[in-house]
């Protein structure tokens, strides 16, 4: 297996940062459905992001798309797990 060196990782992270800095920005408000006030956290090629929820923030368009996709996966995942959490008698592994 070929591993990336620290220099190669730094180069990728640097190129990503430069690309994000040039990108069109959009203003978004990230919902706080749990009411905890915890920020949204994610990463792109070595750039880790922590974005406040419930306030207007200006972010690169690709980051906004990443957040949108992340929220969609979260909602779909919760919907798929729900029958196994709410006590409706579904069992893992099929019918018994």
Contact 26, 64 (CB under 8 A): yes
In a domain, 96, yes or no: no
pLDDT digits (tens, 9 = 90+) for 66-86: 888 887 777 777 777 777 776
Q: What is the pTM of this model?
A: 0.62
In a domain, 45, yes or no: yes
In a domain, 63, yes or no: yes
Which residues constitute the domain of residue 70? 21-85
- 96 vs 43, residue with greater confidence: 43
Report the number of distinct structural domains present in the chain: 1
In a domain, 3, yes or no: no
State both tokens at 22: 């040039």
pLDDT band, residue 46 (cuts 50/70/90): confident
In a domain, 50, yes or no: yes
pLDDT band, residue 24 (cuts 50/70/90): very high
- CB count in 10 Å sphere of residue 63: 21
């Amino acid at each position: 297996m070929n591993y990336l060196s620290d220099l190669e990782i730094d180069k990728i992270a640097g190129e990503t940062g430069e690309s994000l800095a040039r990108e069109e920005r959009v203003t978004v408000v990230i919902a706080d459905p749990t009411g905890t006030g915890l920020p949204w956290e994610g990463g792109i090629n070595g750039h880790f992001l922590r974005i406040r929820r419930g306030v207007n923030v200006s972010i690169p368009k690709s980051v906004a798309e990443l957040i949108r996709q992340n929220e969609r996966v979260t909602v779909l995942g919760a919907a798929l797990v729900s029958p196994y959490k709410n006590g409706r008698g579904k069992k893992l592994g099929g019918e018994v």
